Structure 1
Amino acid sequence: MLDISVIIPVYNASEFLEKSVLSAIPFEEVKEVILVEDKSTDHSLEICRRLADEYSKVKLFQHPDKENHGAAASRNLGIEKSSGSFITFLDADDYYLPNRFDAEKKIFDDPKIDGVFGAIGIEYLTEKGKQEFQSKFSDNSLTTVNYPAEGKEIFRGLLGLTPKTFGTFFHLNTLTIRRSAIDKHHLRFNEILRVHQDSDFIIKLAFHCYLKSGIIDQAIAVRGIHDDNRITKIVKYSPQYNQRQHLFWNSLYDWSKLQPLDTEAAQHITLQKKAFELSLKKGFSKTVSLLLATVKNPNILRTKYRFTYSHEAE
């Protein structure tokens, strides 16, 4: 039987935390639920302590200095403190569904499989959160990939390099990974990234480890959409958005220089990094830099950054 450590970073999640934890505890496969409290300003710490007292599976940790370090550092601390052979993650405002580990029970019989992922659904918890989410993202009921995939197909799909449309990133809440695999490749979350650290981790994971899709036609977990979701607060192609995208692609770029990536993947990451680097420039300098970059490689105009974005807004 699988023995799984569920890692939940906790910051200002008092309204949702108990539902999240109680969705993970009942699974026979779940050995422990690790709460890493990140100096919340609400009553989250009190709830964490109560849950740890009430349920033997729940273990509570804080950063050594008791300060706020962000979700990436909290997940890394959770990995360090975990004792299960398998690791999963769960955001404190989300929850698992009863079929969460159905695919894993069979797929992990194959020793070459390092990780399994599935589809996540959406629950709108507030009307404002719903409006903000739908204004920025497609109103799909599932976040999932478009077809079953495994191995290097997943890495290339996440970069948008597959012949078929791969779909969106799979959500961290739906990933189950062998502890031995992430330790072997020294994989941890980039603590410099306050957002996108999950996407950064997943892409690197897909390169180093053998992943396989599990249940992708129905949700195995649910993402709660509410007023305080950080990702919905960022206006696409705004200076803040471009800055965070630049940090994300720069992280992948630094990593890629040390890996034996194929030419297409390496060039894709380089161009994305360069595009968002250019997005941070302004005025005449930006125009000249863009022209020079386009002459060097016209494909930069096909990156995720929209060069037609209004300079006045920047």
Structure 2
Amino acid sequence: MKISVIIPVYNAEKFVTQAVESALQFDEVHEVILIEDQSPDNALQICEQLVEKYNRVKLYQHPDKGNHGAGPTRNLGIEKSTGDFIAFLDADDYYLPNRFDAEKELFKKSEVEGVYGALGVHYYSEKAREQYYPVFGDKLTTVYKKHNPKEVFPGQIFMLGAFGLFSIDALTIRKDALIQKMNPLFKSSLRLHQDTEFLFRLSFYLDLHPGILDKAVAMRGVHENNRITMVDAKKINPATTRILLWKEVDDWAKNEKTIPDHIKLHINRIYRSFQIANAPAPKKWGMILKNLISDYQSIRSGVYNINFRNSLF
């Protein structure tokens, strides 16, 4: 195996060395690709030092040296990669020694196009633990049981939290399958949740197989300045970002001819449920009435209730 590990770097001077060295522990890692995204701190200098120190580390920036966000930054890393397999790692996260144990066996089968595992949680400070333990606890981010690849996409859509989640840090993909079947790759239209949208589409187009699900293969670093941590802890309004996420998923589903109609309808219901849940009160009740008339089945099924039961009053 020749694995290219892609690390977008933004405001991560304190963490990127640990991330890089956690990837370099594996002989299977052919290269670690750092894409520096105009960090406001000293991350670029740290990356340059890592390139000097380790011959498997490569460093790139966007052609305009600007800040483009995690999606386009990962896309540039994929473009620059030379390995047969792609793995991702956020600059404030790190791999554990078992990261590629399942992959080494599963990728012997040509039909396996991707493998996903479980992600753990590491608090970088007592302050971070105190603030965010109620959000994350010590729980694994994982799919709760092993599924056939054909069940992964509908399981995420129909079962939502009951299916579980897999993280981009715990995902490994065959590069040729990714390039052939995914267009676009990460979308530049989303500054947050672009990895979630990517994983939905990926699980539709590629056969993704379960790896190690009952223990962590990588660790998510939780600290005070992590943008997605602030969203999950509601320091950034999660409503707006999730509406944008589901709008992208809904637009894609409408235009993808091979998605069955009942799945398209369900995705649209989820999108509308987020819109209703976060609308101002007068508009909310108008939207509910409209949907009672036009789509009573989804109201009755409880799709909307999942998302806004607690926000109606």
Under a length normalisation based on structure 2, what TM-score does the superposition of the two structures give?
0.92
Encode CA deviations 1:18-47: one digit per residue, 9 max, x unaligned.
000000112111111000001111110000
Encode CA deviations 1:124-167: one digit per residue, 9 max, x unaligned.
11233223333334x243111111113111112211349x9322
1:179 aligned residue (155, 175, 197): 175
Note closer, same or farther for the CA distance 1:220–1:239 as it changes in structure 2 (3 Å cut).
Answer: closer
Taking the TM superposition and a 5 Å limit, the aligned residue runs for 1:111-260 are: 111-137=110-136, 139-161=137-159, 165-167=162-164, 169-187=165-183, 188-234=185-231, 240-259=237-256, 260=258
Alignment-derived partner of residue 311 in structure 2: 309
Q: CA deviation at 1:210?
A: 0.4
Q: CA deviation at 1:236?
A: 7.1
Q: CA deviation at 1:277?
A: 2.7
Q: CA deviation at 1:180?
A: 0.8
**Residues 132, 232 of structure 1: 8 Å contact kept:** no
Unaligned runs of 5+ in 1: none
Percent identity between matched residues is: 42
- Measured in 1, the distance between the counterparts of 2:177 and 2:194 equals 19
Alignment-derived partner of residue 18 in structure 1: 17
Q: Which amino acid aligns with 1:213?
A: P
**Residues 72, 197 of structure 1: 8 Å contact kept:** yes
Unaligned runs of 5+ in 2: none
**Residues 96, 217 of structure 2: 8 Å contact kept:** yes
What is the DSSP-based 3-state SS (H/G/I as helix, E as strand, rest coil) of the residue aligned with 1:306?
helix
Q: Which amino acid aligns with 2:264?
A: A
- Measured in 2, the distance between the counterparts of 1:244 and 1:265 equals 22
Note closer, same or farther for the CA distance 1:42–1:209 as it changes in structure 2 (3 Å cut).
Answer: same
Q: CA deviation at 1:285?
A: 2.4
- Identify, as 1 or 2, the structure richer in helix: 2
How many equivalent residue pairs? 307
Under a length normalisation based on structure 1, what TM-score does the superposition of the two structures give?
0.92
Q: CA deviation at 1:239?
A: 8.8
**Residues 114, 210 of structure 1: 8 Å contact kept:** yes
Alignment-derived partner of residue 39 in structure 1: 38
Alignment-derived partner of residue 265 in structure 2: 267
Q: CA deviation at 1:120?
A: 1.1
Q: CA deviation at 1:121?
A: 1.1
**2:98 matches 1:99:** yes
Q: CA deviation at 1:231?
A: 2.3
Note closer, same or farther for the CA distance 1:63–1:218 as it changes in structure 2 (3 Å cut).
Answer: same
- Measured in 2, the distance between the counterparts of 1:161 and 1:310 equals 23
- Measured in 2, the distance between the counterparts of 1:153 and 1:166 equals 10
**Residues 269, 303 of structure 2: 8 Å contact kept:** no
